[in-house]
Amino acid sequence: HRLLLENAEQLVLVCGQREPYLRREGAAGLGVLRGASLVVGLDGCIKAVGQADAIRNQFSEATFERIIDCSGKCVLPGLVDAHTHPVWAGDRVHEFAMKLAGASYMEIHQAGGGIHFTVEHTRKATEDELFSTFQHRLERMLRAGSTLVECKSGYGLNLETELKMLRVIERARKSMDIGISSTYCGAHAVPKGKTATEATDDIIKNHLPKLKELKLSGEIHVNNIDVFCEKGVFDLESTRRILQAGKDTGLQINFHGDELHPMKSAELGAELGARAISHLEEVSDEGIMAMARAKCAAVLLPTTAYMLRLKQPQARKMLEEGVIVALGSDFNPNAYCFSMPMVMHLACVNMKMSMNEALAAATINAAYALGKSDTCGSLEVGKQGDLLIINSSRWEHLIYQFGGHESLINYVIIKGKVVYQNERCETMSSY
């Protein structure tokens, strides 16, 4: 076998009955085992989870590539970041000052800043330059506990640059340990010199057929299609056309909706069979009900509302109505945050989620939002051995310590392989 984790103070399963997601009633019991061990096989999948003495007896004859003593520590599933924009050149540190002085997101966007500023720089950057910065960002996400990350294109807005971004994501998917779900987000903004209708036609006639061709030849593997459905960007009808065309080429629908204005995006997503919708700060009550019925996940992004000083998404109402609530960092030049532990903390404080709900939202439900909850998001036999060991006797420290993950996360493990070991945890107490 590849790995044995022995005698953890707490081992957090998140769910134990092969649930594809947890709604509000399920998130109450995360299934925490005390004095527990876990075994990962050479195929990278979990072979056994249970009480330490029972596992020791069961595997008394087995050999392991690595054994880690987790006494006094906690084992949790690897975190899943359900929404990021990590491939770009041209940061927007100068715009942060403008936002602090009171400029709104759309004011900056209309003045040629925002997405347009980053698009200009991303178009000029070489594939190697983009890959190099992307790799560093993924490594930072990994060190903060993310083992599966959704990665969007969307700073090209023309076919050539969108493909360049998707090739960069594909390179990382093939060469790095971290799990990646790839999203084509060519409809992130309307390119300069085009109307929304012209941009929509270009995406449907040129971008999507090219993606299909590259997928068939095995060059690029894309999982999801995304559109920024927003007033002054892509209206409901354009969004519908793009998402339907993407779905017809075999992509999962996973898009930005109801962020700055109520657009009925949630109703549209439920109708089209979307897997997930992100943002939803301005979602209607009808939209919430429709998403709950359609089992369409809500990917909430507490960093965005925090940095743009928007009203917070209605996490409590969604949970009470039975929506599958997931979390993402929204890492991008406008919300520069790599850390899902900080996202969970913000979700608890600003969106009034419980710690159990936040952990479920950053593991099993985020995996569901990416169509990956059959293999990721909980510590169950048969699932991928993606996990964290934290240097603390209670798992809640991962959320409680705001920005404390750097000396709290002791190991990050993907498919049973230690991909990050934090020496600082060995020499200092995380308290």
Same domain, 214 and 292: yes
State the pLDDT at residue 423. Answer: 86
Same domain, 353 and 402: no
State the pLDDT at residue 350. Answer: 97
Residues 1-44: pLDDT tens digits?
999 999 999 999 999 889 999 997 665 568 999 999 999 999 99
Expressed as residue numbers, the domain containing 296 is 80-370
Element (H, E) at 360: helix 355-361
- Taking alpha carbons only, the member of 257, 252, 247, 249 closest to residue 284 is 257
| 243 touches 272 (CB < 8 A) | yes
pLDDT exceeds 90 at position 252 = yes
Token pair for 213: 């061709």
Q: Is residue 92 part of a domain?
A: yes
Burial class (CB in 10 A: 0-12, 13-18, 19+), 256: buried
The CATH number of the domain holding residue 399 is 2.30.40.10
**pTM for the complete prediction?**
0.97
* Confidence band of 366 (pLDDT split at 50, 70, 90): very high
pLDDT exceeds 60 at position 378 = yes
Q: Scanning the structure block, which residue is given the tokens 């996973």? A: 254
State the pLDDT at residue 215. Answer: 96
Mean pLDDT value across residues 310-334: 96
Residues 284-307: pLDDT tens digits?
999 999 999 999 999 999 999 999
Pairing of strands 74-77, 66-69: unpaired
| Domain count for the chain | 2
Q: Where are the beta strands (DSSP E) in 273-404?
A: 276-279, 297-300, 325-327, 387-390
Q: Distance between alpha carbon 135 and the CA centroid of its chain, in Å?
A: 16
| 297 touches 325 (CB < 8 A) | yes
Q: Is residue 429 part of a domain?
A: no
State the pLDDT at residue 367. Answer: 98
What average pLDDT does the chain have?
95
Residues 120-178: pLDDT tens digits?
999 999 999 999 999 999 999 999 999 999 999 999 999 999 999 999 999 999 999 99
Q: Distance between alpha carbon 179 and the CA centroid of its chain, in Å?
A: 10
State the pLDDT at residue 430. Answer: 59
**Distance from C-alpha of 115 to C-alpha of 174, rounded to nearest angstrom:** 28
State the pLDDT at residue 414. Answer: 98
Residues 171-220: pLDDT tens digits?
999 999 999 999 999 999 999 999 999 999 999 999 999 999 999 999 99
* Confidence band of 424 (pLDDT split at 50, 70, 90): confident
Partnered with residue 183 across adjacent β-strands are 152, 224
Q: Is residue 430 part of a domain?
A: no
With both helix axes pointing from N to C terminus, report the angle between 265-272 and 236-248 in degrees, rounded to the nearest 10: 20
Residues 92-113: pLDDT tens digits?
999 999 899 999 988 998 888 8
Burial class (CB in 10 A: 0-12, 13-18, 19+), 136: exposed
State the pLDDT at residue 152. Answer: 98
378 Cβ neighbours under 8 A, 6+ residues apart: 13, 14, 15, 16, 19, 77, 363, 364
Mean pLDDT value across residues 364-388: 98
Q: Is residue 431 part of a domain?
A: no
Same domain, 66 and 114: no
Same domain, 73 and 100: no
- Taking alpha carbons only, the member of 150, 170, 178, 179 closest to residue 330 is 150
Q: Is residue 427 part of a domain?
A: no
Token pair for 416: 């049973």
State the pLDDT at residue 283. Answer: 98
Mean pLDDT value across residues 219-239: 97
With both helix axes pointing from N to C terminus, report the angle between 115-124 and 159-175 in degrees, rounded to the nearest 10: 70
CA atoms within 13 A on the CB side of 349: 14
Same domain, 167 and 227: yes
- Taking alpha carbons only, the member of 257, 241, 229 closest to residue 198 is 241
Token pair for 152: 């969007």
State the pLDDT at residue 184. Answer: 98
Token pair for 381: 């036999």
Q: Scanning the structure block, which residue is given the tokens 């987790």? A: 70
Same domain, 254 and 111: yes
Same domain, 137 and 280: yes
